[in-house]
Amino acid sequence: MPEVENHAVHPDSKSGVPESSSKTIGLTDVEWRRLAFVLSLSFAVILPFVFEGFTTFQFTLAGIYAIAILGLNLLSGFNGQISLGHSTFYGIGAYTSAIMINQLEVPAYWTIPAAALICLSFGFIFGLTVTRLEGLYLALATFALAIATPQILKSKHVEQWTGGVQGLDVYKPDVPQALPLEADQWWYFVVLGILLLMLWCTKNLVNSRSGRAMIAIRDNPIAARSMGINTSLYKALTFGCSGLYAGTAGALSAIVIEYVAPDSFTFVLSFFFLTGMVIGGMASIPGVIFGALFVLFLPNFAEDFSKNLAYAIFGILLIATVYAMPSGSAGLFSAILTRLKQKLNQ
Amino acid sequence: MNLWNRGIICAIGFVTLTAAISAAEMPGVTDKEIKIGNTMPYSGPASAYGTIGKAINAYFNKVNAEGGINGRSIRFISLDDGYSPPKTKEQIRKLVEKEKVLLVFQSLGTPTNAAVHSYLNKKRVPQLFVATGASKWSDPENFPWTMGWQPNYQTEGQIYGSYILKNHPDGKIGILYQNDDYGKDYMIGLKKGLGDRSNSMIVAEESYETTSPTIDSQIIKLKASGANIFFNVTTPKFAAQAIKKIFDFNWKPVHFLNNVSASVGAVLKPAGLEKSQGIISVSYYMDPTDPHYQNTEGMKRWQKFMADYFPEGNRKESLNMYGYLVAQTMVHVLKKCGDNLTRENVMKHAANIRNLKLDTLYEGIEVNTSPSDFRPVESMQPTVFKGESFVPLGEIVKSGNDKIQ
Amino acid sequence: MDLFVQQTLAGISNGAIYASLALAIVMIYQAIDHINFAQGEMAMFSTYIAWTLIVRFDVPYWIAFGLTLVISFLGGMLIERIVFAPIHQAPALSHLLVFLGLYAIFNSLAGEIWGHTIKEFPSPFPDYSFGGLIGAHQVGTIVIVMFMLAAIYSFFKTTKLGLALRAVASNPESARLVGIKVKWMRALGWGLAASLGSLSGMMIAPIVFLDPNMMGGILIYSFTAALIGGIDSPGGAVAGGFLVGVLENLVGTYVEFIGSELKLTFALLLITGTLLLKPNGLFGRKIVTRV
């Protein structure tokens, strides 16, 4: 059992510690990892040509969720700040995009960076405000944000922009003419591209000086402060970055789903992201993809068991998953890999 | 590897292509069955409505057991969307693209249906008899593939407005409404019914959220506003609370309760029948708990259906009757289509229903549609609660055919 | 002035509702160091058990009341022993997922067993209203909340069991070393919290009517109440409950811009603001960490 705790606290140790040069079946760890990456990437690229439009659309959604969960993981997994308010950032991103497309007629692609920047600033300001709060109290403050979001979106004061309770329709731009792709395939690749970019940025960020500062704040804020790290600033910046990810994901979701409404951004969505993050593995970068697929497909899976008790089955499966991997897929995978490596090296 | 992949892709492409061609005429229909898709909030906070889907499924089982529709049985594929618009989009796409259903029927909720509104119209898939009373579903010009079923909330609000104008011209109205599309549509309707008097007659508007534990504070404010007419636009739980509260607070306004909550068994009884006397509402189908209607033929048929095909369903729940009625309408349309079960033909017949009587609609209320009128049920019967049941109050009101926006 | 008095009284009645569930949340936090997001749904489920006893089996109210407390207590212990015993060591957020799982299970089961139609739940107090201002049941609820508070307070301050419970939550290893049966203490904490929750449910149901989603909205308020008061302080939870209840009503009544539409949003904002000044809640202890 203590090893479980270990994974939970330092699952990321592998990215900071120099790689061991021992070889497994002729390849070093780094080479294995590269091989795995290339294989999964080629799988991801082939996917929309193998499956029909609907399944491609599902994977597109999973990609969008993965971006949001990655943002949450940056905040909670690497920086130790809990957020139950990521549905807000996601919602702001979605509405920014929807309002710009629907009312200002800005090309859809431009609305994505715009949403990202707005959420970055909002996240930074919010992060700066709540910098003194920790643990449950931070959870409450962010939860308040999540509760308030749908109410504010449909409030009569902003109705003229947000469309109030009726929401806004969004028209997704056509596939560039030079490409022989269906709309679903094209948006799948757009999302995949952004996701890869985000994953790459996150990897570099957490291995940088700033990333180490973020992790130090998570592990021991007082020690971090005494080492001269401006903890408030770093925490607020991490909040901003995290918001940027969620905002990007939100904008993509508005475009791909072609509709936004206050009911799409309730606090349930925050729990949804949180579930994805924990199941994927705290502070695990590749884990977010597993987490996103999990939250997207688990309800469908539960539904196949029983319509009447779909929700209860969902609960049972969720609990069972936590039993199977108390520290997420990342913990489970690394445990399996270690075992496997020992076997193979014997 | 590359060649192999290409082979697979070609093969799959070929298969889907041929499938598409053979199904192009009548997707979702074989000699043996008709596939109908649906989404319902079986899980999550709106799961109370899930029973509609179960009642519909039970009714289709009955139809199948009795020989189906011109020899074809109905396969009703009802998926859970948890009342989340993105999930609805996912599930509806699954139904259309993977299950290849003939049509989508009775999907529940305004934001959820709005999320697939343009998708289904672009794909030319019928989005029939959606389970929401928003007014935007009857727009045959712009959305020829979408049709509502129940009288829409605005129409109903308008009926109250005209009634108040006629019977209480000097009244002061206080409104309690749920802060969402449903509540706001009622307000728009009421204001339309009141016309230019609406600004002077409405003295207070209070909203609540579905997460609000109680509505005490709102009732106090409404009472303090001096209103003598209470327009109660709430869902069952809050309606029962409101009935109880205004009684406890000694407020005695003329009480108008929206149809959504005008159920004896589910609202008035828990709130207290003695506190409910004199409540005015409008209805279009019978309340399953109302003793007044227990002996009608239609009610007996419904009860037999519940006993034979949906024994686990609650026989006090008017949603189960709603599901029964709407499923009857669907079956009527499919039967009319005969063997020509194309999407176009389904829409054509859905838009040409003439004087269809259903088992438990009020006497004198019929389902009617035309290519320019996508509002199947338009008439409502004003009622007042006396003793243990709602009794008719005047004539059936048919809303005009003017397009409501 | 009349309006002010009425809104304040209504706020206090609502506050008592929030406070009662907040007490159960504080109780469980004292015992296991986590917030149980399924506490509300467990309370709802217990209330359905009470309803079944009273309405279906014609058990007299107070006997059903006592039975429900006992059944809930045992149920709470069972949940701890069956569901949580295997994952004590798992990270905090994994616990959160299990709470969410329980939430879904109880909510769905209740809907399936008892249906979604609202049910009238009897009140032990007479159907009487004090001058149209506040009902007897509301007054009774306030009294019971105060009684719950006194009981919890004396349990933690004056009994050995209460002390042992707190020791387990704050440091399970040391508690084990001094001979406390950690396993059973945790189960006891769960049992007590479930019992308190069922009491809260039985007080809330006559006001809001019994249905599977009865506790959803209330949990948000109770969670807020518990935290604003300080999650480790029962007195704080009660004060927090009243504060949230009254504040929400007064703001909704007197601030035109906010009205009923945004009153919850505003109350939450105000609370977040308070937390920024007092990061451990109004009555919470400051946690000192060593480097």
How many angstroms separate the CA of residue C271 from the nearest CA in chain A?
Answer: 8
Nearest CB to A54: which of B44, B97, B115?
B97
**Residue B395 CB partners (closer than 8 Å, separation 6+):** none
Mean pLDDT, residues B41-46: 83
Are B281 and B262 spatial neighbours (Cβ–Cβ below 8 Å)?
yes
CB C208 within 8 A of CB C24: no
User: For helices C234-254 and C2-32, what crossing angle results, to 10°?
Assistant: 150
Per the CB < 8 Å rule, is C87 touching A323?
yes
Domains, chain A, with CATH or none: 2-345 (1.10.3470)
The whole-number pLDDT of residue B348 equals 95
Residues of A within 8 A of C233 (CB-CB) are: none
| Å between B169 CA and nearest CA of chain C | 27
Rg (CA), chain B: 23
**pLDDT, tens only, B173-231:** 999 999 888 898 999 999 999 999 999 999 999 999 888 889 999 999 999 999 999 99
Q: What is the mean pLDDT of residues B13-40?
A: 72
List all residues 6 or more positions away from C76 whose beta carbon is below 8 Å from its beta carbon. C42, C187, C190, C191, C192, C193, C194, C195
Contacts of residue B396, Cβ cutoff 8 Å, sequence gap at least 6? B362, B364, B365, B379, B380, B381
CA distance, residue C85 to nearest chain B CA (Å): 28
Determine the Cα–Cα distance for residues A260 and A265; give it in Å rounded to an integer: 9
A21 vs A24: CA distance, rounded Å? 10
Which value does ipTM take for this structure?
Answer: 0.90
Determine contact, residues B186/B157, Cβ cutoff 8 Å: yes
Could you tell me the residue ranges of all domains in chain C?
Answer: 2-217
Instruction: Give A111 to chain C, closest Cα distance, Å.
Output: 28
**Pairwise CA distance, residues B220 & B225, whole Å:** 9
Residue B211 has its nearest CB partner, among C108, C217, C259, at C217
Backbone angles phi, psi at C286, to 5 degrees: -80, 130
C290 pLDDT tier (thresholds 50, 70, 90): low
**Residue contact C264–B212, C-beta within 8 A:** yes
pLDDT at B1: 40
SS3 content of chain B, % helix, strand, coil (to 5): 45, 20, 35
Nearest to A257 among B5, B43, B89 (CB): B89
pLDDT single digits (tens) C108-158: 999 989 988 899 999 999 988 887 788 899 999 999 999 999 999 999 889
Identity of residue C171: N
Asked if B315 reaches chain C (Cβ–Cβ under 8 Å), the answer is: no
Helix (H, G, I), strand (E, B) or coil at A291: helix
Neighbour tally for A224: CB within 10 Å: 21
Chain C residues within an 8 Å CB radius of A147: 220, 264-265, 268
Please say whether the beta carbons of A202 and A244 come within 8 A.
no
Write the single-letter amino acid at A123: G
Burial status of residue C81 (CB atoms within 10 A of its CB: 0-12, 13-18, 19 or more): middle
What pLDDT, on the 0 to 100 scale, is given for residue A108? 93
pLDDT of residue C1: 63
Query: Is B212's Cβ below 8 Å from some Cβ in C?
Result: yes
Tokens of residue A128, six digits: 């700066």
Buried b (16+ CB within 10 A) or exposed e, B78-100: bbbbbbbbbbbbbbbbbbbbebb
- Residue C236, SS3 per DSSP: helix
């049972």: which residue's tokens? A316
Tell me if C264 and B314 make a contact (CB, 8 A cut-off): no
Question: Does the beta-carbon distance from A133 to C276 stay under 8 Å?
Answer: yes
- DSSP of C184-212: HHHHHHHHHHHHHHHHHHHHHHHHH-B-T
Sole residue written with tokens 């909720």: B109
CB A144 within 8 A of CB C271: yes
Q: What is the DSSP letter of B397?
A: E
Chains in touch with B (≥3 Cβ pairs < 8 A):
A, C
Q: What is the pLDDT of residue C287?
A: 61
All residues of chain C having their beta carbon less than 8 Å from the beta carbon of residue A319 are 83, 97-98, 101-102
Task: State mean pLDDT over C179-188.
Answer: 87
- Structure tokens given for C254: 């007197």
Look-up of token digits 């009865």: C214
pLDDT, mean of residues B338-349: 93
**Which residues contact residue B167 at a Cβ distance below 8 angstroms, ignoring those fewer than 6 apart?**
none
Residues of C in contact with A143 (CB under 8 A): 220, 223
Contacts of A226 in chain C (CB under 8 A): 291
Shortest CA distance from C113: residue in chain B: B312
Q: How far is B352 from chain A (nearest CA, A)?
A: 29
- Considering only the beta carbons, identify the residue of A76, A155, A315 that sits closest to C102: A315
Higher pLDDT, A296 or B47: A296
Instruction: Give the whole-angstrom CA distance, residue A218 versus residue C209.
Output: 44
With CA atoms as reference, the chain B residue closest to A260 would be B115
Burial A4-27 (b: 16+ CB within 10 A, else e): beebbeebbeeeeeeeeeeebeee
* Residue ranges of domains in chain B, CATH in brackets: 1-150+292-374 (3.40.50.2300), 153-283 (3.40.50.2300)
Residue B384's beta-bridge partner residues? B280, B391
The 10s digit of each residue's pLDDT in B312-326 is: 888 888 899 999 999
**DSSP category for residue C171:** -
DSSP B185: H
What are the residues whose beta carbons fall under 8 Å from the beta carbon of B309, sequence distance 6 or more? B58, B59, B61, B62, B65
* % pLDDT > 70, chain C: 98
> Chain C interface residues facing chain A, Cβ-Cβ under 8 Å?
35, 83, 86-87, 89-91, 93-94, 96-98, 100-105, 107-109, 111-112, 220, 223-224, 227, 231, 257, 261-262, 264-265, 268-269, 271-272, 275-276, 279-281, 289, 291
Distance (Å) of CA B286 to CA B60, B175, B282, B381, B398: 21, 26, 11, 10, 17
Note the Cα B11 to chain centre separation in Å. Answer: 44
Q: Would strands A27-28 and A23-24 be described as parallel, antiparallel, or unpaired?
A: antiparallel
The residues pairing with B283 across neighbouring beta strands, listed in sequence order, are: B381
User: Do A310 and B42 count as a contact with CB atoms less than 8 A apart?
Assistant: yes
> How many interface pairs between A and C have CB atoms less than 8 angstroms apart?
136
Asked if pLDDT for residue C43 goes beyond 60, the answer is: yes
Contact B115 A154 (CB under 8 A): no
For C101, the closest of A220, A309, A318 (CB atoms) is: A318
B105 φ, ψ (degrees, to nearest 5): -130, 130
| Residues whose CB falls within 8 Å of the CB of residue C52, separated by 6 or more in sequence, listed in order | C114
Cβ contact B162:B398 at 8 Å: no
Q: Torsion-angle region of residue A25: left (phi > 0), alpha (psi -120 to 50) or beta?
A: left
At A217, list the tokens.
């704040």
Tell me the pLDDT of chain A (346 aa) as tens digits: 233 333 333 444 444 444 455 677 777 878 888 898 899 999 999 999 998 888 999 999 999 999 999 999 999 999 999 999 999 999 999 999 999 999 899 999 999 999 999 999 999 999 999 988 888 889 888 988 998 899 899 888 888 899 888 889 998 888 888 888 888 999 999 999 999 999 999 999 999 999 999 999 999 988 999 999 999 999 999 999 999 999 999 999 999 999 999 989 998 899 999 999 999 999 999 999 999 999 999 988 888 887 778 889 999 999 999 998 888 888 888 888 888 888 887 6
d(CA B133, CA B135): 6
Question: Picking from A183-187, A282-286, B360-364, C179-183, which range would have the lowest pLDDT averaged per residue?
Answer: C179-183
Distance from CA of B190 to the nearest CA of C (A): 19
CB-based contacts of A216, cutoff 8 Å, min separation 6: A223, A224, A227, A229
Write down which chains contact chain C via at least 3 CB pairs under 8 A. Answer: A, B
- Residues of C with CB below 8 A from B43's CB? 104, 108
Q: Is A29 exposed, middle or buried (0-12, 13-18, 19+ CB in 10 A)?
A: middle
Contact B218 C216 (CB under 8 A): no
